[in-house]
Amino acid sequence: MTLPTVLCVAVTSVSWAADPPASSPAWAGTTDSASPQTSLAAVRSIIGADTGPAAALTGKGVGVALIDTGVAPVPGLPVTSVVNGPDLSFESQAAGLRYLDTYGHGTHLAGIIVGDDKESGAKGVAPGAKLTSVKIGTSNGAVDVSQMIAAIDWVVKHRNDDPGSPIRVINLSYGSGGNPPNWTDPLQYAVERAWQAGVMVIAAAGNNGNAAGKLTNPAADEWILAVGAAATNGTVSTADDSLATFTNLSNGGNQVDLLAPGTSIASLRDPGSNIDVAYPTARVGNTLFKGSGTSQATAVASAAAALLFQAKPSATPDQVKDWLIKGGTFLPNGKAATMGLLELNVNGALARTGSVVQKPTWNPSNGTGSLEAARGTSHVMLDNTALTGERTVWGAMATAQWAPKSAAQTSWSGGTWMGFRVAGDDWSGSSWASRTWAAANWAAPSWSSSTTWSDPAWSGRTWSGRTWSSGAWSGRTWSSDAWATAGWR
């Protein structure tokens, strides 16, 4: 069949209410429509966040960076809880779409982390945390690995811009199709630089199934926390929980570190967004939407990490990773039991905070590997021309020149990344959020024959009050895969 020309990014953690649209294979997921709803209150109970010492924690004073498809100004996301970092997506070149979630994925994850929806009563796992949204994905999920790398670099550079809520966690519900050597991969180098700077990176394992044979990149990196989804079966008891069948498992190298609830999670709906239009049966009331995948599980784990950092502000990513993994709940069913995969338990992690954690000795990446190898099968398209080779969205780049600058936190200077003007220079931007990084027009030519970044499909698409204007979502760009949602149902 002919693929429509749409801006699309691949995702590794969402499931769908029906077969995913051909325009967004990266965000595609499972179609288990029989899964019962898992409310955010149930999620909190399953992971033990509503009892014992954990019940007093909200994530206050902790920043979480959500590098995703942006967030929409729905009532369930308090303005004071959200900051908009730079929009590095293709849609940044359309003022009416800039910073906003046209897909619906980022808003769903934001709800899991910091949501507070008065109409439904749904509340995120860490409602007191400060969420910094860095948009890289479009209405159909289109994104390139170079945009992800630039976003991670920006977070590391600006992690302490808000001294009251410094960024301690990066949520990456993203995974490329690449299987590069981990000792040279630039994407793994970027997440390792963040980790060494004190920012814990939590990544989705992927939704290609237990037989996938490998985790998506960068979850395959041994340094960071790789999260798989637990099937919760509509109960708050962990006795019937099991490894979700869509979760990637590895035959070698890094394995899933931790499981978290990830099936039919009822979080914030983004009215009129791509997935909201495509999967109306996933709606729960007026304000919620059901989604399944390692993306959702990763958001739960990121929020839990924020609770740990609130309780132990001086903790390192290595310590929090160790506490979360070893403090988990044993699941007596199926592969989770035979493999020893534990499910997130916040109180179990808190109980281990007095334990000594040995610094890991994994071999690090040097970052000088190929961008094309990091992409693997995940190619973004513009006017049916794939972005390939040693080129970012904005132009050619040698990773051997980027890696030392990333390490020194000099790859960004104001709104330029590696010499490319990709955003404004400071926090002088305007949006619905409490604070916004400024935008800029992209002057660099595209990799296709096009002479402009603008897209006729962007015209007429506006956020009006509480919803996107009606109409089908389409555009000039799309990509094969990258995001980690198994389905919306």
pLDDT at 8: 30
Angle formed by the axes of helices 317-326 and 294-311, nearest 10°: 110
Report the pLDDT value the prediction gives residue 467, as an integer from 0 to 100: 72
Q: How far apart are CA 111 and CA 296, in angstroms?
A: 10
Strand ordering across the sheet containing 380-382: 385-386, 380-382, 477-479
Look at residue 21 in the predicted model and tell me its pLDDT: 34
Tokens read off for 344: 């997130």
Q: 35, 146, 242, 295: which one is catalytic?
A: 295
What residue type is assigned to position 347 of the chain?
A: N
What's 269's DSSP letter? -
Look at residue 166 and give its three-state secondary structure: coil
pLDDT of residue 16: 32
CA atoms of 9 and 1, how far apart (whole Å): 19
Residue 487 has pLDDT above 80, yes or no: no
CA distances to 26, 271, 376, 382 from 21, in Å: 10, 18, 22, 18
Is 295 an annotated catalytic residue?
A: yes
Distances (CA, A) of 469 to 281, 464, 466, 478: 19, 7, 10, 21
CA-nearest of 238, 250, 222, 263 to 29 is 263
- 470 counts as catalytic: no
Q: So what's the pLDDT on residue 253?
A: 86
Q: Which of 290, 336, 272, 305 is nearest to 473 (CA)?
A: 272
pLDDT at 473: 67
pLDDT at position 167 over 80: yes
Residues 158, 126: contact at Cβ < 8 Å?
no
Strand partners, 409: none
Residue 124, token pair as written in the block: 């995120």
Instruction: Give just the sign of the alpha carbon dihedral 479, 482, 485, 486.
Output: positive
Question: Per-residue confidence at 453, pLDDT binned at 50, 70, 90?
Answer: confident
For residues 310 and 57, the answer to whether their CB atoms sit within 8 Å is: yes
pLDDT score of 481: 57
The pair of structure tokens assigned to 41 is 């209150």
Average pLDDT, the chain: 89
Indicate whether 2 pLDDT > 70. no
43-92 residue pLDDT tens: 999 999 999 999 999 999 999 999 999 999 999 999 999 999 999 999 99
Q: Judge whether 2 and 475 are in contact, CB under 8 Å.
A: no
Indicate which residue of 32, 68, 87, 455 is catalytic: 68
Supply the pTM of this predicted model: 0.92
Q: What confidence score (pLDDT) does residue 444 get?
A: 84
Active-site choice (15, 24, 81, 105): 105
Residue 319's identity, in one-letter code, is Q
Q: Which of 312, 450, 293, 300 lies closest to 382, judged by CA? A: 450
- Among the listed ranges 12-16, 46-50, 232-236, 295-299, which one has the minimum average pLDDT value? 12-16
In this structure, the number of other CB atoms found within 10 A of the CB of residue 410 comes to 12
Asked if the model's pLDDT at residue 299 lies above 70, the reply is: yes
Question: Are 355 and 130 spatial neighbours (Cβ–Cβ below 8 Å)?
Answer: no
- β-strand partners of 265: 38, 291
Q: Give 454's Cβ-side CA count (13 Å radius).
A: 6
Q: In the predicted model, is pLDDT for residue 213 greater than 50?
A: yes
pLDDT grade for 382, boundaries at 50, 70 and 90: confident
Question: Would you call 322 a catalytic residue per the annotation?
Answer: no
